[in-house]
Structure 1
Amino acid sequence: MNGIARSGAVASTQVVPNNGLAYTVLGRDAESRRVLDAVDDHFDGVPSGTVDVVIDDVAPVAARDGVDAAVAFADQLLGRFEGRANRVAIGCTFEGSAELLSRLGDRVDALVGTDPVATAAVERLSRDDPTTFGYVRRHWVEAKRGIETCDRNYPQSKQVHAALTDPETTPRTLGATLSGLVTLGALETWGDTVGPTRYDLTAYRPERAWAVGAALEAGAPEE
């Protein structure tokens, strides 16, 4: 496994025959088109449906170039190799960008590797409270961003909403979403309050929120 190519250097292609693996090392800063062209080279002379394309992790692309760039790369990858590859698998770091996960989830046939406990909780919410489930499914990314942006420990939903820039939600729909996240174990309410519910952001569990989001994107049944 030699010949790591620096940016701008000649790419190094390696083949591991016993494992049926072929890869080309391009370097950390390779542009998307160069990556796609390198993958395409491995299809030369190969019957359709006999090669798997696996992206280990697309999250670094989002971290380096932004979510839009990572999604555009995924779109280009799927557009170029769907129908030619046996399958196209795109990895995404656990607890990476919620927006990236949501947007990729809209583009793929299946999302695998979700947490079974979170998946069961999402399915239970979809059965027991389909209205709240619908809000959570639609707005979980924005709710997660609001929770992580809000500088209050025990805010009402309108105060979480005020921390958002250009929100899609209203304070009411965000409140319904936050309530759903409480039910799903990602958040807690603060004590017994008179009036609007306050949320305990000190008890926020970002890893649980991400797992819930992954379960939602994996396609929990809609009511």
Structure 2
Amino acid sequence: MVSASDTTRGSTATTQVVPGRRLAYTMLDASTELDRVVDAVSTYVADSEGEVPSIVVDDIVPVVTDRGVAAARSFVTGLRGLSGVDDVVVGCSYRPEVAADVRSLFDPTGDVGSVDHPVAGALDRLHRDDPTTFGYVRRHWAEAREGVERCTRNYPQSRQVHAALSDPETTPRTLGATLSGLVRLGVLDTWGETVGSTRYDLTAYDRDRMWVVGAVLAASADETDPDGGPGTVGDD
């Protein structure tokens, strides 16, 4: 275990080893350069005696807030670059004040393995109450996000959001079903004064909530869907 905090002062690392070498606890000053933290971790990896350890970062947010996104990215890259490591798991307390930085640091489609967030409950309710719409959201959320973020209109119809996509898998209809699900999840809103086809209020688009929705869905992508889910939803 390596801890860099205000508990320790000065540049010298202090290490305590539990009998049997099943646990070693190294304490570093909070101002310690991140390269030294990586070096301390690498020492344990080198002494793992034939085992292939996993590295767990309890919470990357203090690094993001104190050192910046670039330093946090470099730190994680350094840990992942250590030889003889099975996996690197990075914990993250996703809070509004750091949400934009976390979004830039981690891609929900490939970097997220587990999410504990109230959005998961909203997705469960959508799954239970409207499994068809849930299926569209689970299959097409990334394309819907791309369309919304590329669309230049404030109150577009689904076909206008669809037109902003370069190589869509969706049709305007299936994208519209996905957008309606995102409305129910609180990611965006509809324009109340619409007549005819639904218009979506992109001024209410919540990038942070969209990231969490995508992260929850990506993390659960390998789980069995008892209601069929996106695999049974057509794109006619």
**TM-score of the alignment, normalized to the shorter chain, above 0.5:** yes
Q: How far apart, in 1, do the equivalents of 2:132 and 2:121 lie?
A: 17
Alignment of 1:90-105 (within 5 A): 90-91=90-91, 94=94, 95=99, 96-97=102-103, 100-105=107-112
| Alignment of 1:209 onto 2:216 | no
Instruction: Tell me if the contact between 1:190 and 1:199 (Cα under 8 Å) persists in the aligned partners.
Output: yes
| Percent pairwise identity | 47
| Alignment of 1:17 onto 2:19 | no
Alignment of 1:103-122 (within 5 A): 103-105=110-112, 108=113, 111-112=114-115, 114-116=116-118, 118-122=119-123
* Structure 2 equivalent of residue 42 of structure 1: 44
SS at match of 1:181: helix
- Partner amino acid for 2:131? P
Give 1:184 shift. Answer: 0.9
With over 3 angstroms needed to count, the CA separation of the structure-2 counterparts of 1:205 and 1:21, relative to structure 1, is same
Alignment of 1:180-191 (within 5 A): 180-191=181-192
SS at match of 1:151: coil
Task: Please give the TM-score of this superposition, normalised by the length of structure 1.
Answer: 0.64
Give 1:123 shift. Answer: 0.5
With over 3 angstroms needed to count, the CA separation of the structure-2 counterparts of 1:50 and 1:147, relative to structure 1, is closer
With over 3 angstroms needed to count, the CA separation of the structure-2 counterparts of 1:79 and 1:191, relative to structure 1, is farther
Instruction: Tell me if the contact between 1:126 and 1:221 (Cα under 8 Å) persists in the aligned partners.
Output: no
Give 1:164 shift. Answer: 2.9
* Structure 2 equivalent of residue 178 of structure 1: 179
* Structure 1 equivalent of residue 145 of structure 2: 144
Q: How far apart, in 2, do the equivalents of 1:216 and 1:146 lie?
A: 18
Residue deviations 1:26-57, cap 9 Å, x none? 967x7xxxx98874442223353776432754
Unaligned runs of 5+ in 1: 4-12
Aligned residues: 194
SS at match of 2:107: helix
Give 1:174 shift. Answer: 1.8
| Alignment of 1:156 onto 2:157 | yes
Q: How far apart, in 2, do the equivalents of 1:91 and 1:23 lie?
A: 19
SS at match of 2:196: coil
Alignment of 1:63-78 (within 5 A): none
Q: How far apart, in 1, do the equivalents of 2:183 and 2:110 lie?
A: 24
- Partner amino acid for 1:155? P
- Partner amino acid for 1:44? A
Residue deviations 1:58-77, cap 9 Å, x none? 998xx75xxxx99xx59x66
With over 3 angstroms needed to count, the CA separation of the structure-2 counterparts of 1:51 and 1:193, relative to structure 1, is closer
Tell me which structure has the larger Cα radius of gyration: 2
With over 3 angstroms needed to count, the CA separation of the structure-2 counterparts of 1:51 and 1:160, relative to structure 1, is closer
SS at match of 1:131: helix
SS at match of 1:102: coil
Unaligned runs of 5+ in 2: 1-8, 18-22, 229-236
Instruction: Tell me if the contact between 1:135 and 1:177 (Cα under 8 Å) persists in the aligned partners.
Output: yes
- Partner amino acid for 1:146? G
Q: How far apart, in 1, do the equivalents of 2:82 and 2:183 lie?
A: 36
Alignment of 1:119-130 (within 5 A): 119-130=120-131
Q: How far apart, in 1, do the equivalents of 2:174 and 2:84 lie?
A: 39
Residue deviations 1:168-219, cap 9 Å, x none? 4332222121111011111111125333211011222223222322332342
With over 3 angstroms needed to count, the CA separation of the structure-2 counterparts of 1:50 and 1:208, relative to structure 1, is closer
